[in-house]
Each structure stands twice: as structure tokens, then as C-alpha cells.
Structure 1
Amino acid sequence: MHIAATYLKKRHIQLLLTLDKTRHLGQAALALHMSQPAASKALAQMESSLGYTLFQRSGTGMQPTELGEIVINYAKNQAGAAQRLALELDAIALQDQRLLNVGILPSATVHIAPQLISALVAAQPKLNIALHEGLLTSLIEQLENNELDCVIGRTSAHVDSSHLEALFLYEDPACVVCGSQQSLAPHASQFELGDLLHHWWVLPPKDSVLQEHIQMMFSRLELPLPQHHIQSNATLATVALLNQHPWVGVMPRMLAEHFVQQQALTIFPIDTHVNFGTIQVLTRKEKVKTPPLELALGLMRQLFSAY
């Protein structure tokens, strides 16, 4: 490779391009905030290192030689490549500043996610938002690997919080529900929990954290678990079953209220004395968070502070 391909530095490229534009050493020096002797010395050093005369001097100015034209074209290509690289890097950085990857646990899908997304779109229409629903373990792993910016939902005490931080949103109380199309719904206000024990129930899976809370609910009211029940963690299937049969279910109140608005469920006015857990936002412990994440956290503080 000829030395011309490796020797030209940024200051050489700037001098060559400015000389090509002005064809006058004094004007080029002025444009580059250099003294004319310094510009003349830099050009002489460049010509000496390359082994060619690049400009013919005259009393009226300077004209590039044939070889000078070749070197100027090379300098233009180098300057253009540097500019394109800077633009591409800026575009990538800007894209990162406009991207928000949100991990959503099932407990946050119908209540938090729609409100958050609506608020984000209103506040920052150009923001690219990606929602990823999954289980806690998988989402936490993605968060730790920088694949997600945050994880929202009901979290477990078993989460390693040494490198994560949590923003508390609200406690999620348990409520007792039935299908709005079933015979129990019109008389929901007349029932106590004990009156419903002879019905079939849809309960959270055995050995789950939610099941522990359900057992606590019945224990506090000194009642046994319903004898007839099935186990389900499939929300839509649970809602469908409750509307097909005069059955009873237990679910987080925020989730139940969504289906009440859809006229799919009715909530019994029974105080369960039990919370299903804490709804919060998990993020990595970082000194500086991206602007989209800061925006999302601020909006969630506003949206859910009253719960």
C-alpha cells in the first residue's frame, strides 16, 4: 500500500480540501484558523512525505497538479466516509434512544400495559416500543442481559435484588368472582364466602404463590378450601369457564376489574383480607438510565400512585 493511503491525517485532509476550494494558501489558512506559514509548512511536509508536488504555486494562487487531483479525490473520499460513519453512528445512537423493550408478566398485561403504552405514545410518538410477555425467570434473565429495559408485574421475594432495583406501584388484592352471565351474578351482594363453598371453584395451581394466598384467605375466615375445584393459571380459560358454569373463582382485583368492564365477570363484595402480591417495576441498577426508560418510570409513577 502506498504511503498516501496511510499518511493522510485529518489535518492534511482538511488542508487539501480547503486549498482545493479556495486555491489560495492565505485564504485556506484563514478558514482553518492557521497562520499562513503554518499552512505552508504543513503542505510542504505532506508533499515531502508523499514524494510528489501537489500544488503549483503562482502569484495569483495555487492549482493542483495531476497527482494533486488524485490525492484531493482520495481526501474527499476519506472525508465522505468519515461523515457517513458519523451519521450512521448518530443514527444508531438515536435509535437506541428511541427504543424501549418492556417485559410484561401476565399480572400486568391487561391493566398496566395498555395505560402505559397509551401514555408513552402520547408523550413520545416516535418512540419504538416492544412488549415481551413471559414468565418471571425468563424475563429477569433477559433484563440482566440488557435485552429488556424493565420488567413489570407481580414479582417474587425469591428474585435476586443485588443488581436490580424495584419501583413499587401497588398492592394487588384478591377478589372473588363469577361469570356475569351466570345465575350468581345478579345476587352477588347477598353472598358471604361461606355461602359459596358448595359451588365449584377455579383456583390457582397447587404449590404456587397465589395458591398460598388463597389458603390464607380461607384460613383467616376459618373456612376450609372448597371441596370441588379445578386449578388454572390460564386467565381467558378461567373467564370462559366461569361464564359457562355457575362456578366461583379468585383472581387479582385489577385483572378482575378489566373483565368487569368487558361485562364478562362480576365481583362479589367480599373482603378477602388478602393481597395477591406487590406489583412493581424491576430495572437494572445503573447510574444513568436511557431517556425512554426514565420517561416510562415517570409515567408509571403518575398513573399508578393512587392505587
Structure 2
Amino acid sequence: MRTASLTFQALSKQLKFRHLMLLDALAHTKNMRLAAEQMNVTQPAATKTLHDLEELMGASLFDRLPREMRPTELGALVISYARRALNDLERFVNEINVRKEGGYGHLVIGAIPASFGNIVTAAIKAIKQRRPLLTIKLFEQSSDQLLIGLEQKKFDFIIGRFTENRQKEIFNFESLIDETLWVVVNGQHPLLKKKKLSINELGDWPWILQPASSPSRQLMEESFSQAGMAMPANLTETPSAFPMLQLLQSSEMVTLQPRSAVSEYVKRGILGRLPIKFDRKLSPYGIITHKEDIMSGSAQEFIVTLHEIVRKMH
């Protein structure tokens, strides 16, 4: 296999989408036969496609093991690009089809639960009044998962926080709002009868929390550590607001949540806020876009609408 340097000219002329599709299929199945079936081609054809790609790259992309095909370090890099390119192409195809059918395009947005309560929903309502035929796909996840999706070009943009310093080199960030954290329980919880409460009294209660990589979870772990406490042993994890609210209302679980996500439920008495304060606040959440992307008109309008809503809140 040749070892000459790869050039942009050679890659742009010879790299095909079938190469990228095979890489993605092999990464998922780790098996050439299954990857070929997924692509609806013969196994010899799939094998030749991979051979041609490795010839083009000048390096092996997979280790051929007895029971699986495992990506090499270089293969993992190429697979990452393949997934981004395929996701970008899918978004492009969807946009073309919507426009051809007389629609106003579509947006794919990811958002953390904290942004739903009074920002994202208000922005959707406002933009739908101006563009009723704009299709909006909204996904709720924790920041770490949203950033993975944005790097893979699954979203037009996301609303969340950075979780690693390296992300600042890949994405742009526009701050929206600072967030205060509340410790909340169901509206009839025994702890609500106490006028004074310390974090030391919460360790034995069952907790529902964001995943370990989320900023709110990290803040809680630091707070427990500073109080000389181990993390509660009885934990349930979910990045989604709906199961969190259902579990809180039907149990004696305790949770740490952004104020904006739970304030309305506290106001209505469905949930109760415990008198626990944290010295630290979460970093602001905001709009995160990929530095390589050019925002569509619909995406730019939605982002402007988000900023307008935040200004009205203040």
C-alpha cells in the first residue's frame, strides 16, 4: 500500500459517498458481510470498495481480526468525518425536498431541559407565527450528548453549555442566560416541613440527577465533596425533563435542577423547593454553532428570536 501524502485534489476527485456509507456501516456492524447487506451490495463489492478507499488513504482503516473489523486510529478519524458528511448530506436532502414541496425549510435543534421552560418554547411560538410552514425538529438531551450530535452535524445548532475546553476550538458560543440551581422535591415531601436544612441531611434520600458528564451533576458532586459527603448511593439518571418530573411527583426523590426548568411547577405547588443554596452557579448556557457551518436564514431568524426573548425577560 502506498504511503505518499494524501492531497485534497486526489481526495476530491476519488472519494465517493459509497466510501463514506461503507465506513459508517462497518463502524456500526464491525462485520463486512453485515455492512454489505446494510448497503444492499455483495460482500465482494463492499470488500473492493474498502480496498479502494484504503488505497486512496494510503493506510489501513480497519484491523481484520478473527471476529470483527476494528477501526485503526486513522480509521476512527476517517469514520468521524464520514458520519459528519453523511449527516450534513441528509440535512441538505431534507431541506431540498421541503422547499420543492412548497415548505419553508426545516430546523433541527437540540436543547438542554433548562432552556425549554421559558425560552425555547417561546421562540418556537414566535417564529411559528411568522413562518407557520417552517418544520422544527426539537431534541432534548444533556449538553455532552448535544455537542456530540452537533460535531456530527446532526443539528443546525444547539442550546447548551460547553463540557470540555477543546469544544471551544470547534464551536461558536453566544451566551443566553445565567442559571440558578434549585433543589426540589414533590409538593408533599416530608423535607418541606423543615425551615432549615443542610446538604448533609440529603445524602440518604433517593436522588434523580443528570448524567455524570453534565455541568449540574459535576457541581453537585463538588458540593457533596466539599461537605465531606459521599455521593448518594440511591441514584436515578436521566437527561430528560419529562421522566424527571414524573418520578418526582410519584416518589420522595430529590433533584437538583435549573430554576427555569422547575419554577412553574414550584409556583403551582406540584413541586417544592428545599432551602439549600449553592455557592457556585452553573456557567451560562447559550447558542452553540459549528464553526464550519453557514447558518440558514431560518436558523439565523430563530437565533435572533431567542435573544429577543431573553432581553424581554430582563
Are 1:270 and 2:270 counterparts?
A: no
TM-score by length of 2: 0.56
1:249 to 239, 250, 255: 255
1:265 CA drift (Å): 1.0
Amino acid at match of 2:163: S
Rate the CA distance shift 1:216–1:125 in 2: closer, same or farther, 3 A: same
Deviations along 1:234-272, whole A, 9 cap, x unmatched?
A: 544444444444443222222221432553211124321
Q: Work out whether residues 200 and 229 of structure 2, in 8 Å CA contact, stay in contact via their aligned partners in 1.
A: no
Unaligned runs of at least 5 residues, structure 1: 1-88
1:284 to 278, 287, 290: 290
Q: Hey, what's the Cα distance between the residues in 1 that align with 2:304 and 2:181?
A: 27
2:186 to 158, 161, 179: 179
Give the match for residue 22 of structure 2: none
Q: Work out whether residues 151 and 283 of structure 1, in 8 Å CA contact, stay in contact via their aligned partners in 2.
A: yes
Q: Hey, what's the Cα distance between the residues in 2 that align with 1:96 and 1:144?
A: 27
Are 1:160 and 2:167 counterparts?
A: yes
Q: Percent identity?
A: 19
Task: Provide the secondary structure at the position in 2 that maps to 1:125.
Answer: coil
TM-score by length of 1: 0.57
What pairs up with 1:78-157 in 2 under 5 angstroms?
A: 92=99, 98-134=105-141, 136=143, 139-140=146-147, 142-144=149-151, 146-157=153-164
* Structure possessing the higher radius of gyration over alpha carbons: 1
Q: Work out whether residues 97 and 290 of structure 1, in 8 Å CA contact, stay in contact via their aligned partners in 2.
A: no
Deviations along 1:111-163, whole A, 9 cap, x unmatched?
A: 43312211211233332222233455664455455542211124413553334
1:303 to 284, 309, 312: 309
Unaligned runs of at least 5 residues, structure 2: 1-95
- Aligned-residue CA RMSD (Å): 3.6
Q: Work out whether residues 209 and 255 of structure 2, in 8 Å CA contact, stay in contact via their aligned partners in 1.
A: no
Q: Hey, what's the Cα distance between the residues in 1 that align with 2:309 and 2:235?
A: 35
Give the match for residue 77 of structure 1: none
Are 1:232 and 2:237 counterparts?
A: yes
Q: Hey, what's the Cα distance between the residues in 2 that align with 1:158 and 1:202?
A: 29
1:192 to 184, 192, 197: 197
Q: Work out whether residues 177 and 249 of structure 1, in 8 Å CA contact, stay in contact via their aligned partners in 2.
A: yes
Rate the CA distance shift 1:90–1:205 in 2: closer, same or farther, 3 A: closer
